[in-house]
Structure 1
Amino acid sequence: MGHRKKRSREYDSALVALHQPHSPIVEQYRTIRTNIEFSSFEKPFRSLLITSGLPGEGKSFSAANLAVVFSQQEKKVLLIDADLRKPATHKIFHLDNRFGVTNILMGKSCLDHVVQHSEAENLDVLTSGPIPPNPAELLSSQAMEELLKEANEQYDLVLLDSPPLLPVADTQILANYVDGSILVILSGKTKLDNALKSREILSSSKSELLGAVLNGRKVKKARQYNSYK
C-alpha cells in the first residue's frame, strides 16, 4: 500500500457521494446505479468503463462517485485509473500515485502490492502510477487483459476511468475488455457531433454501451445534477 498524499483543496469537493450523501447530485448517481443494475439483471456486469469524448467533461468525477455509490451496497468495488496520460483519480481520493497500473503492466509489481484502500468502505483504488511514454501499447498488452481478469476475480465490480475517446485510441482498446461502457457528456459544452462520434466508437466495441451521464446541468436553485439516459 502507498502512503496517502497531502490533501489538495482543488479536489476536496469531488467525492460528493461520500461527503454529501443527501445531495441531489448523489441521488442521481444512485439512479444511475439502479439503471445499470436493471440493464444487467439477467447477467450482472462485472466491469464498466467510464469515458467522455474530450477532456474536461467530468468522466473522472463521475467514475469516482459511481464507484462510491456501488460500494455503499456492500459490494467489493475496485476503481482503476486507466488514464495513463492525464490521471486524476489519485487527486480525487488524495492517494499516492508513485505506484499503480503502469508498474503492473511493466511487470514491476502486482495488484495486491499497489492497490490502495479509499475513504469509502468496500472501495479500493488502483491509481495510474507513473505516466509512461507508450500508454496505448501498455493498455493493449496481454498484461492489461490479465490485470482485469485478476481484478474481476477479486472484486464484485471493477470500474475503469479511461482516457477521453476522441484524442487517443486508448479507450477504444479498453472498451473491448469490459462488459459495459458509459459516456459522460458535459451540459453546454459537449458538441453533438462529438457525442455522436463517441457513441459510434463505443457501440463498435465488444462492450455494451449502457447510456450517457449528463454532467453539469443547472436546475432550480442553481443546483447541479447528473442524469442517466
Structure 2
Amino acid sequence: MLRTNIEFSSVDRPLQIILITSTKPSEGKSTTCANLAVAFAQANKRVLLIDADLRKPSQHRIFNKSNRFGLTTALFNQQGLEEIVQHPNTDNLDIIFSGPTPPNPSELLSSKQMAALLKSCREIYDVILIDTPPIISVTDAQIVATQSDGVVLVIDSGNVKKEAVRRAKASLDHVKAKLLGAVLNNVQRNSKDSYAYYYQEEVAHTSSER
C-alpha cells in the first residue's frame, strides 16, 4: 500500500529519490525503508537502497551483510558505484551500506562527492530510497532532503508527541523538501477497524465464489 501511494503521490514528475526519516530514534524508519525497497523491487523496478544514517546505521544488520565498506568509503576515496554496491538475495535490489562511521557525517552528506554520487544513481536506477537519521536530532536528513524528490516521515504511534511531529515538518519545510506523507507505525488495530472489516468481507466474498 505504501509503495502504491508513493507512486500515485506525484502527477507532475516521477519520484526517483525518496528519503525516509523519523522524528526520533527507534520509530521503525529503517525497517520501513528496507521493506519499501523490497516492495519496489518486486514490482520490477530497479531499486537502490542507500543507508545514509552514518551515525547509527542498521541496514547491514537487516540484510545480514558486511559494513566494512559503503557510502563513507566511497565519499572519502571517491570510489565508483561498482565498488560499493552490494547485492542481497532480492532481484532488482542493490544496496549501498553506510560504511565505517565517520567523524563528520553532515559534511560528507553535503559534499560535492555526495551530489555526484546521487547524480550517477539517477542515471541507473528507477527508485532510490535513502535511510537517514531522525530529522530532529541532527541536520543530516535536512541536507539529503534538498537532493531528494520527496520525503516519507515515519511516526511511532502513541510514542511521539504532536509537537515533535510539527517540529519535524517545520524542519522539512525550512529546506523546501516535499513531504509525501507519513507512515503511522505500530498502530494497534482491532476487529472494529474499517480496513479489517473490508478485508474480512473480501475473504468471505472470495469463499462464497468458490
Pairwise same-fold verdict (TM > 0.5): yes
Once the 2 structures are TM-superposed, how far is the Cα of residue 54 of structure 1 from its aligned partner?
Answer: 0.6
Q: 1:201, 1:108 → 2: CA distance?
A: 30
Residue matched to 2:76: 106
- Give yes or no for contact 2:78–2:113 (8 Å, CA) kept in 1: no
Residue matched to 1:149: 119
Residue matched to 1:215: 185
Q: 2:11, 2:92 → 1: CA distance?
A: 22
Q: 1:151, 1:203 → 2: CA distance?
A: 25
Residue matched to 1:160: 130
Residue matched to 1:132: 102
Query: Max radius of gyration: which structure?
Result: 2
Gaps in structure 2 of 5+ consecutive residues: 196-210
SS at match of 1:143: helix
The answer to whether 1:203 aligns with 2:173 is: yes
1:77 to 14, 22, 47: 47
The answer to whether 1:179 aligns with 2:149 is: yes
Once the 2 structures are TM-superposed, how far is the Cα of residue 108 of structure 1 from its aligned partner?
Answer: 4.9
Once the 2 structures are TM-superposed, how far is the Cα of residue 134 of structure 1 from its aligned partner?
Answer: 0.6
SS at match of 2:101: coil
Paired residue type of 1:103: T
Instruction: Please list every run of at least 4 consecutive aligned residues from structure 1 whose deviation after the TM superposition is greater than 3 angstroms.
Output: none
Residue matched to 2:200: none
Once the 2 structures are TM-superposed, how far is the Cα of residue 91 of structure 1 from its aligned partner?
Answer: 0.4
Once the 2 structures are TM-superposed, how far is the Cα of residue 203 of structure 1 from its aligned partner?
Answer: 2.4
Residue matched to 2:202: none
How many correspondences in the alignment? 192
Structure-2-length-normalised TM-score: 0.88
Q: Cα 1:169–1:73, aligned 2, differ >3 Å: closer, same or farther?
A: same
Q: 1:151, 1:98 → 2: CA distance?
A: 21
Once the 2 structures are TM-superposed, how far is the Cα of residue 120 of structure 1 from its aligned partner?
Answer: 1.5
Q: 1:103, 1:43 → 2: CA distance?
A: 32
Paired residue type of 2:136: L
- Give yes or no for contact 1:57–1:185 (8 Å, CA) kept in 2: yes
Once the two structures are superposed, residues 113-152 of structure 1 have per-residue CA deviations (whole angstroms, 9 ceiling, x without a partner) of 1101112211111000000011011111001101111111
- Give yes or no for contact 2:73–2:79 (8 Å, CA) kept in 1: yes
Gaps in structure 1 of 5+ consecutive residues: 1-30
Q: 1:119, 1:61 → 2: CA distance?
A: 17
Once the 2 structures are TM-superposed, how far is the Cα of residue 39 of structure 1 from its aligned partner?
Answer: 1.2
Q: 1:70, 1:206 → 2: CA distance?
A: 26
Structure-1-length-normalised TM-score: 0.81
The answer to whether 1:188 aligns with 2:158 is: yes
